[in-house]
Amino acid sequence: MSGVDGFTPGPLERDATFYVAGHAGLAGSAMWRALAREGFSDLVGRRSAELDLKDRDAVFAFFRETEPRYVVLAAAKVGGILANSTYPVDFLSDNLRIQTNVMDAAREVGVERLLFLGSSCIYPKFAPQPIREEALLTGHLEPTNDAYAIAKIAGILQVQAVRRQDGLPWISAMPTNLYGPNDNFSPLGSHVLPALIRRYDEAAASAAPSVTNWGTGTPRREFLHADDLADALLHLLEHYDGPEHVNVGTGSDATIREIAEAVAEVVGFEGETQWDTSKPDGTPQKLLDVSKLADSGWRSTIDLREGLDRTVAWYRDNAGSMRG
């Protein structure tokens, strides 16, 4: 479909400079792998120790030096319920600075295609399920991660503003809950699925009689393997151009209890699972309507069991060297 200023999506140039912001993280590393598989020969990435995206001057200098033609903005400060609830200022301030610096610098050097990666937490806590893109800004956010959500909403609006003011065909994508290689498995900073994998794997290794999880186990969650996400993002870059963000997910969900049972089975834990109902559940359900993405020609191919098998294998191979 044609978008701003008559731009028509199509195959990206495989020899063009392509910057993946956050290339060492869960989503960014998957994007890097996908681009390498697809023959992109000039991939650029910097770890946070090499380039602090909160440092505006450093970000502008980096863009002037590298002059990327394409950018995927997957860098972000992320965390689970505990981290988001404990450090809302950090999640708001850090993410706003990262996004603004990268997009402002990208504007200065005229980046042709930029994809901003958000999160499904942008939607109201009680949005009708499955959640359509139009649900944005129609209700109150989930209070345990509202600061992070506001930052991501600001990113969507910045992309839309750039399209209106500069005529650049930038786009945004909102993935559901992600998991896979290079996730954060730390006890205090992880999201629910990597936290479950670490908890059950350690319990299996120590032959613990039980595992205790937060909440009631009744909330429903949708999970997308990061490699599926990366394939979807490249598809969007080559097939979509519009101001509205696009949901990226599988279109199906399960209860946290069911997901915990699946993780326990994959890691070989045979003990009892208990639920600490004094702890918060978070949003009761968060299932994305992915019809817009499906209509463009893309669907998820990695089911939860296959994804868990691959992720647990990666976790065990890397447990000694990962963060946390």
Q: 68: how many CB neighbours lie within 10 A of its CB?
A: 24
> Among all chains, which residue has been given the structure tokens 């893309």?
298
List 148, 179, 240, 315, catalytic entry: 148
Annotated binding site for NADP(+): 22-28, 117-120, 152, 175-178, 191
Shortest CA distance to 287 belongs to which of 238, 262, 251, 316? 251
Task: Compute the chain's Rg from CA coordinates.
Answer: 19
> Among all chains, which residue has been given the structure tokens 């440092």?
55
Contact 116, 171 (CB under 8 A): yes
Rounded Cα–Cα distance for residues 256 and 254 (Å): 7
Burial (CB count within 10 angstroms: exposed 0-12, middle 13-18, buried 19+), residue 170: buried
Q: Would residue 200 show up in a list of annotated catalytic residues for this protein?
A: no
- Rounded to 5°, angle at Cα 205 from 199 and 209: 70
Distances in Å between the Cα of 183 and the Cα atoms of 156, 179, 260, 264, 300 are: 24, 6, 17, 18, 19
Annotated binding site: 22-28, 117-120, 152, 175-178, 191, 199, 214, 221, 281
| Exposure letters 290-308 (e unless 16+ CB within 10 A, then b) | bebbeebebebebebeebb
Contact 21, 73 (CB under 8 A): yes
Burial (CB count within 10 angstroms: exposed 0-12, middle 13-18, buried 19+), residue 49: exposed
Q: Which positions are catalytic?
A: 148
